[in-house]
Amino acid sequence: MSMLSASAFFLNGCGNDESPSLLFKSSEGDVINLKGANLYLAGEGEYNGHIYREYFISDGELTDSGNGWDLDDYTGATYYLAVQLGVPIGDDYAAGDYPLSNWTTGDADANTGFIEMDIETEYYTSTYNNDPIHVSGGFDDGDKMTLKFNGELAYHYPVESGWEEKDVTGEFNYSGKVIDKRPL
């Protein structure tokens, strides 16, 4: 089977009612309108010297029983973009860079990030190459948060025998109000 041409995608715009337009584009032929997407804070926990928060951008409504990591966790969703941000235990979340890194073996004294984009039949994930997610604004319920990324991601796509993967360049720029859906 021949390899597909290199993929690139672009996410740009604002979430909630502030959005003039928000698109996902891929050289693989994906074009997804993300206008009106919500930004959910759905999880928080500690691991390997870090406190992690899990943010999800989606066109669907995150259900009360869902954790955000599966399309079935949403009502009416065709995609979700997960952005996991980690800070060393004892540090506060603050505007700045959160480099993509393997949170199981990464530097316990540095911020860390992870990205996953699931689009029904294909998905993108972090490649742990330290390209940063740049964060500005607030991190809590009702705060406006801006997330920007330009770097390498792994593109996973179905083939007859299962899944194949290749590295691609990805970029997104999203701004929206945080909706706290963490379990009580």
Q: List pLDDT tens digits, range 64-122.
A: 999 999 999 999 999 999 999 999 999 999 999 999 987 666 677 889 999 998 988 88
Q: Name the domain count of the chain.
A: 1
pTM, 2 dp: 0.85
Cβ–Cβ < 8 Å for 38, 79: no
Q: Is residue 54 part of a domain?
A: yes
Does the pLDDT of residue 38 top 50, yes or no? yes
Give the C-alpha separation, 30 to 40, whole Å. Answer: 23
Specify the higher pLDDT residue, 120 or 161.
Answer: 161
Instruction: Name the 3-class secondary structure at 2.
Output: coil
Q: Is residue 108 part of a domain?
A: yes
27 pLDDT band, cuts 50/70/90, is: low
* Summary mean pLDDT of the chain: 83
Q: Is residue 102 part of a domain?
A: yes
Q: Is residue 1 part of a domain?
A: no
Cβ atoms within 10 Å of 112's Cβ, excluding its own: 26
Structural domain containing residue 101: 8-180
- pLDDT at site 29: 57
Strand partners, 31: 25
> Over the Cα atoms of the chain, what is R_g?
16
Q: Is residue 95 part of a domain?
A: yes
- pLDDT at site 133: 95
Q: Is residue 2 part of a domain?
A: no
10-14, 136-140, 147-151: least confident range: 10-14
Q: Is residue 142 part of a domain?
A: yes
Q: Is residue 87 part of a domain?
A: yes
Cβ–Cβ < 8 Å for 48, 106: yes
Does the pLDDT of residue 1 top 50, yes or no? no
To which H or E segment does residue 172 belong?
A: strand 162-180
30 pLDDT band, cuts 50/70/90, is: low
- pLDDT at site 23: 60
Which of 35-39, 43-47, 102-106 shows the highest mean pLDDT? 43-47
